[in-house]
């Protein structure tokens, strides 16, 4: 934890994250990325890597298409160009099935990473992510209830999204009401403990809903969905997710200075004119919105919002303006490749996304904890 700051400038750049003078090794990389030019170059490189990853992932599957042909078919779809008659089936696979799925994977990876960054600063806990505060579990309950009962049918394809958002918002309100002090404040430790308890409670509610579901097929579908999948991705679902993730990430970036100060403690925040409780309430609602929309289309995907922020902080430092610029791109690239592995590793069967992210996230998290003790609150 950085030492208390004495000015807004110091709060924005914690003392122990000021880039060291060396120009080689990891310290040199952090020093270069601390500059605007270095950060811009890193973002451009990551955007290029994301674009390449998207094209490769769209082309791979049960019917493999070369990256060149994939790019040509995508360009034909975007520009209204012509394709050969014998390419119609391949075009439909590329454009109608794989493209929305891969784009959805990128959006969800970016959103989970951004929300993870915000929540870890919100509660000043390196182990926090949307699951810890019960937001993801609440969203899952809402989505599962709509899926099993057929409620909100009038909303069509957006019914599950609305149900998930209602569940996420209800979970946030319950966590807030249960963890608030008598004066209306939000203590970070109380938030974490209440969130963990609520998450377990929501999981129990979800299990009861699944247990009493009248349709066994719906039950198996929900069980699979709760472990994460982009199998139901459609072009119709993308606009809502894109708006929620892009606007939500932009809003979190505007909170970056406040997140820097909140990470230093409530007393420091108040001394710098930042209201911890007011900002926590706003961030909690914003995190609920983004998480609810993502859970509705992808299910519960663990470890992305927990591990990605730590990996990014190791490279760019702890200042949230830099972390929130890089983490969504890293998360998007990671999730695109996770989705590719999930649908190709044991084809024609598909592995749940949560299984792969856990298999990757657990050893990475343990390695980070052993090698970088300061990230987790001291050696």
Closest by alpha carbon to 103, among 290, 307, 339? 339
User: For residue 176, is it within any domain?
Assistant: yes
Cα 55 to Cα 18, 61, 70, 289: the distances in Å are: 37, 12, 7, 29
Give Cα 98 to chain centroid, integer Å.
21
Per DSSP, the three-state class of 252 is helix
- 7-47: per-residue pLDDT in tens? 444 344 443 344 444 444 555 555 566 577 778 898 999 99
Residue-level pLDDT at 6: 42
User: For residue 52, is it within any domain?
Assistant: no
Containing structural domain, residue 362: 108-376
For 368, residues 6+ apart whose C-beta sits below 8 A from its C-beta are 307, 310, 311, 314, 375, 376
User: For residue 133, is it within any domain?
Assistant: yes
Q: Give the CATH number for residue 360.
A: 1.10.3470.10
User: For residue 87, is it within any domain?
Assistant: no
CA distance 210 to 204: 10
Residue-level pLDDT at 29: 59
User: For residue 153, is it within any domain?
Assistant: yes
Cα 145 to Cα 148, 209, 334: the distances in Å are: 5, 7, 30
User: For residue 25, is it within any domain?
Assistant: no
Low-confidence ranges of the chain (pLDDT < 70): 1-34, 181-186, 216-218, 221, 224-225, 371-379
Residue-level pLDDT at 85: 84
User: For residue 5, is it within any domain?
Assistant: no
- How many structural domains comprise the chain? 1
Closest by alpha carbon to 122, among 266, 327, 272, 262? 262
Residue-level pLDDT at 26: 53
- 276-290: per-residue pLDDT in tens? 878 888 888 888 888
Residue-level pLDDT at 2: 47
User: For residue 100, is it within any domain?
Assistant: no
Q: What's the pTM?
A: 0.83
Longest dimension (CA), the chain: 70
């Amino acid at each position: 934890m950085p030492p208390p700051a004495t000015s807004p400038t110091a709060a924005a750049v914690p003392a122990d994250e000021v880039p060291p003078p060396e120009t080689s090794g990891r310290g040199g990389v952090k020093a270069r990325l601390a500059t605007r030019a270095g950060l811009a170059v890193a973002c451009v490189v990551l955007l290029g890597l994301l674009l390449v990853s998207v094209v490769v992932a769209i082309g791979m599957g049960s019917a493999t298409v070369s990256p060149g042909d994939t790019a040509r078919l995508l360009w034909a779809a975007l520009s209204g160009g012509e394709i050969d008659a014998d390419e119609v089936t391949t075009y439909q696979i590329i454009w109608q099935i794989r493209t929305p799925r891969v784009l959805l994977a990128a959006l969800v990876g970016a959103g989970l990473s951004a929300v993870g960054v915000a929540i870890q600063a919100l509660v000043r806990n390196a182990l926090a992510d949307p699951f810890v505060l019960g937001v993801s579990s609440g969203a899952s309950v809402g989505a599962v209830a709509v899926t099993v009962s057929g409620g909100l049918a009038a909303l069509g394809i957006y019914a599950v999204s609305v149900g998930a958002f209602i569940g996420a918002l209800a979970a946030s309100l319950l966590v807030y009401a249960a963890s608030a002090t008598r004066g209306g404040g939000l203590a970070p430790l109380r938030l974490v403990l209440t969130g963990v308890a609520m998450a377990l409670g929501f999981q129990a509610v979800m299990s009861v809903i699944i247990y009493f579901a009248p349709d066994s097929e719906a039950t198996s579908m929900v069980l699979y969905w709760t472990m994460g999948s982009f199998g139901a991705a459609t072009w119709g679902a993308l606009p809502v997710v894109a708006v929620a993730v892009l606007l939500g990430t932009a809003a979190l970036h505007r909170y970056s200075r406040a997140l820097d100060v909140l990470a230093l403690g409530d007393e420091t925040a108040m001394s710098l004119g930042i209201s911890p409780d007011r900002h926590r309430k706003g961030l909690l609602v914003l995190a609920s919105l983004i998480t609810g929309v993502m859970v509705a289309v992808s299910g519960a995907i663990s470890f992305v919002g927990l591990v990605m922020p730590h990996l990014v902080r190791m490279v760019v430092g702890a200042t949230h303006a830099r972390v929130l610029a890089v983490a969504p791109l890293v998360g998007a690239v990671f999730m695109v490749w996770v989705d590719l592995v999930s649908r190709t590793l044991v084809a024609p069967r598909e592995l749940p996304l949560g299984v792969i992210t856990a298999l990757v996230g657990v050893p990475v998290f343990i390695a980070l904890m052993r090698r970088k003790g300061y990230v987790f609150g001291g050696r």
